[in-house]
């Protein structure tokens, strides 16, 4: 009765501020709200589905998009969608299109986007390397010549092995002049040089015009790229120099490569490249990542001098990500902290020389840092973490692979009043350390304890029954590859982890059918807890085919993603599991061993 007293316009205003998942939950409350939600969905101008939710064609057409009219912004995980699933909803009204994990979409889909959505401003596509590059570029050219107002283009071609072909020659030839953000993966070094030279040619076409009082020149309209992100075979001095000389307005630069040893003989990034990059005074975000290719590789020609030059020239940096800087010492890394006083995000990966000394004085100079990620930095100890104790801004702390991190630093971590994400993967944390976290008042939403070999079921009890806030705030928990996780640990999580919506217990060999039964009975949203949305059981070899019985009836009714690869549950033909999936067309069943949500590895899925 109280709902009926609320003016219809007010109710609509409230509902239109909610996301789709919340709207669906609200619709279950009453008939009045159900009708109101249906109307609200039809009025949505923006629809961003969760990236871990991959609907099938029928669910999308009838259950979601079929109720929407004139969507202007759309984000969909397309793992289970083909061309025909989407084109019916395209039109001139669409301004932003984000299609992720497009394992079934053909390259002809690109031409269809160009024909039906000429007013697009934002285009994000993740496609699989399937047909020839010529077919891809022909269709991409049709898209780019029709969508003349694009502001952001992000194109990712995912596939096995090295990048061996030119997938983006059409970008070089037909890139719209309106583009301010360009993200491409994967392309060849020389192909990247050609594209950037094209951007320079656009820049040279800018003609100075003057205001009426002739006081100051103003640039006429033209290409002014501000964000460039490239994943390619090798990062070189030539590439950096070309970027700096061609893109004077660049504010964000993200480069990632995966070279082989032969490529590094002829070209690589050296101090000269960083010296050139230091002249980009507008740069606020920088990523230089060297990945692994069957062997450990790094920027062996970069040292402290290059970092000193970079930090002196780019003092406005707010976000920094470095991986593969094997010759840079503490002094080089510390120069970034001391020179860039606006720094908010700092990430170092696989640095054998990054030690506690690099963070010396962080409590005084790192007060604005919100994200600190120190991945596989073996020299980092608890002394560094203790310097973070007085930070009131730190929200994300990632110590993955820092093997010297132990319980003694968790007292300091517990004082970080705004910490929402904590990654302790492969550290030396024990049950005692978890008891400290369990007693604290941290607002932690995401916690990873993967490969923490000294964690047991007792640690789970201390974490969730310690009297602190984590039992209610924690939403995503990763316990993968921990032999001490047993059925009792999972039962504790199911009963006390009321906020858990994502759980990873892959390769927990002592987990049996009892754990699945406990999770199936997890306290639900209408009572004290939230629905479990994502569950990773990959390589849980202790499960029997009988665990399939837990997937029936109303149990696991909120599940959107389930990973059961390399378990007995993945055997074909089990009636309970087949029936469970048939009644939940929104559920993604992953047999491939992907991480939660198939955010990486989706290109290898069997169609």
User: Does the pLDDT at position 314 exceed 90?
Assistant: yes
Alpha helix (H) ranges present in 402-559?
410-413, 431-439, 457-464, 470-473, 487-496, 513-520
CA distances from 217 to 206, 208, 211, 213 (A): 12, 6, 7, 10
What does the pLDDT average to over 253-270? 87
pLDDT at 87 over 70: yes
Residue 405 predicted with pLDDT over 80? yes
pLDDT at 536: 97
Q: Mean pLDDT in the chain?
A: 87
Ramachandran class of 4: left when φ > 0, alpha when ψ lies in -120 to 50, beta otherwise: alpha
Q: Are 126 and 158 in contact (CB under 8 A)?
A: yes
Pair 142, 118: CB distance under 8 Å: no
Who's near 361: CB < 8 A, 6+ residues apart?
387
Q: Can you give the pLDDT at residue 44?
A: 80
- Alpha helices (H) along 254-303: 261-266, 271-277
Calculate mean pLDDT across residues 12-36: 72
Q: Are 384 and 359 in contact (CB under 8 A)?
A: yes
Residues in the chain: 607
Inter-residue contact 41 to 20 (CB < 8 Å): yes
CA distance 90 to 74: 10
Structure tokens at 199: 């951007």
Q: What is the pLDDT of residue 210?
A: 40
- Both ends of the chain: CA-CA distance in Å? 49
Helix ranges (DSSP H) in 94-168: 108-116, 133-146
Residue 460 C-alpha from the chain's centroid: 27
pLDDT in tens, 493-525: 999 999 999 999 999 999 999 999 999 988 653
Question: Is residue 263 pLDDT above 90, yes or no?
Answer: no
Q: pLDDT tens, 132-184?
A: 899 999 999 999 999 999 999 999 998 765 455 788 989 988 999 899 999 99
Retrieve residue 313's tokens.
């020239």
**What are 408-456's pLDDT values in tens digits?**
999 999 999 999 999 999 999 999 999 999 999 999 999 999 999 999 9
Q: What's the maximum distance between 2 C-alpha atoms anywhere in the chain?
A: 82
Confidence of residue 45 (pLDDT cuts 50, 70, 90): confident
- Three-state DSSP state, 589: strand
Q: Which of 48-62, 198-212, 418-432 has the highest mean pLDDT?
A: 418-432
Beta bridge pairs of residue 557: none
The overall pTM is greater than 0.95? no
Alpha helices in 271-329 (DSSP H): 271-277, 304-313
Integer Cα distance of 93 and 251 in angstroms: 30
Which whole-number Å values give the CA distances from 558 to 515, 532, 546, in the listed order? 17, 6, 21
pLDDT at 39: 73
3-state secondary structure of 523: coil
Of 400, 401, 356, 360, nearest to 382 by C-alpha is 356
Distance CA 384, CA 575 (A): 54
List the structure tokens of 287.
């990523």
Pair of tokens at residue 91: 């039109």
Q: Which residues of 237-260 are buried (b: 16+ CB within 10 A; e: fewer)?
A: bebbbbbbebbeebbbbbbbbbbe
């Amino acid at each position: 009765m109280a709902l009926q007293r609320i003016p219809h316009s007010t109710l609509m205003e409230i509902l239109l501020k909610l996301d789709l998942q919340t709207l669906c939950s609200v619709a279950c409350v009453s008939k009045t709200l159900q009708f109101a939600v249906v109307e609200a969905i039809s009025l949505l101008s923006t629809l961003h589905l969760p990236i871990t939710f991959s609907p099938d064609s029928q669910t999308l057409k009838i259950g979601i998009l079929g109720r929407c009219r004139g969507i202007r912004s759309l984000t969909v995980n397309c793992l289970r969608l083909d061309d025909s699933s989407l084109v019916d909803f395209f039109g001139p009204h669409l301004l932003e299109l984000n299609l992720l994990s497009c394992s079934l979409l053909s390259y002809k889909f690109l031409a269809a986007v160009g024909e039906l959505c000429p007013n697009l401003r934002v285009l994000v596509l993740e496609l699989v390397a399937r047909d020839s590059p010529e077919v891809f570029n022909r269709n991409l050219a049709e898209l780019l010549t029709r969508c003349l107002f694009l502001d952001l283009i992000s194109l990712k071609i995912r596939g096995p092995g090295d990048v061996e072909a030119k997938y983006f020659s059409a970008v070089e030839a037909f890139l719209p002049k309106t583009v301010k953000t360009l993200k491409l993966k994967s392309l060849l070094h020389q192909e990247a040089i050609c594209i950037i030279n094209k951007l320079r040619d656009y820049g040279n076409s800018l003609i100075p015009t003057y205001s009426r009082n002739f006081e100051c020149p103003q640039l006429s309209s033209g290409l002014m790229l501000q964000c460039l992100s490239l994943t390619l075979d090798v990062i070189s001095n030539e590439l950096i120099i070309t970027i700096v000389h061609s893109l004077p307005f660049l504010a964000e630069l993200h480069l990632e490569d995966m070279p082989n040893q032969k490529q590094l003989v002829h070209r690589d990034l050296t101090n000269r490249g960083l010296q050139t990059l230091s002249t980009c005074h507008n740069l606020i975000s920088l990523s230089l990542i060297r990945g692994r290719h069957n062997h450990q590789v790094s920027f062996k020609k970069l040292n402290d001098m290059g970092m000193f030059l970079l930090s002196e020239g780019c003092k406005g940096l707010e976000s920094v990500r470095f991986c593969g800087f094997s010759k840079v010492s503490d002094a080089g890394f510390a120069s970034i902290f001391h020179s860039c006083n606006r720094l908010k995000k700092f990430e170092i990966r696989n640095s054998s020389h990054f030690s506690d000394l690099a963070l010396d004085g962080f409590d005084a100079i790192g007060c604005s840092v919100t994200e600190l990620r120190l991945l596989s930095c073996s020299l980092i100890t608890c002394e560094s973490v203790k310097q973070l104790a007085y930070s009131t801004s730190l929200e994300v702390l990632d110590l993955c692979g820092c093997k010297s991190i132990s319980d003694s630093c968790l007292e300091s971590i517990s004082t970080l009043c705004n910490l929402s994400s904590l990654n302790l993967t492969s550290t030396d944390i024990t049950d005692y350390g978890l008891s400290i976290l369990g007693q604290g008042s941290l607002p932690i939403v995401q916690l990873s304890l993967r490969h923490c070999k000294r964690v047991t079921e007792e640690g789970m009890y201390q974490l969730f029954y310690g009297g602190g806030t984590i039992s209610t705030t924690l939403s995503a928990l990763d316990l993968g590859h921990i032999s001490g996780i047993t059925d009792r640990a999972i039962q504790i999580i199911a009963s006390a982890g009321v906020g858990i919506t994502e759980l990873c217990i892959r390769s927990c060999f002592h987990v049996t059918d009892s754990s699945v039964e406990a999770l199936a009975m997890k306290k639900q949203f209408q009572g004290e807890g939230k629905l479990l949305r994502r569950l990773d059981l990959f390589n849980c070899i202790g499960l029997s085919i009988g665990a399939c019985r837990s997937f029936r009836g109303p149990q696991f009714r909120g599940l959107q993603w389930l990973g059961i690869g390399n378990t007995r549950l993945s055997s074909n033909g089990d009636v309970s599991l087949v029936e469970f999936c048939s009644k939940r067309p929104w559920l993604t069943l992953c047999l491939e061993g992907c991480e939660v949500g198939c955010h990486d590895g989706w290109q290898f899925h069997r169609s």
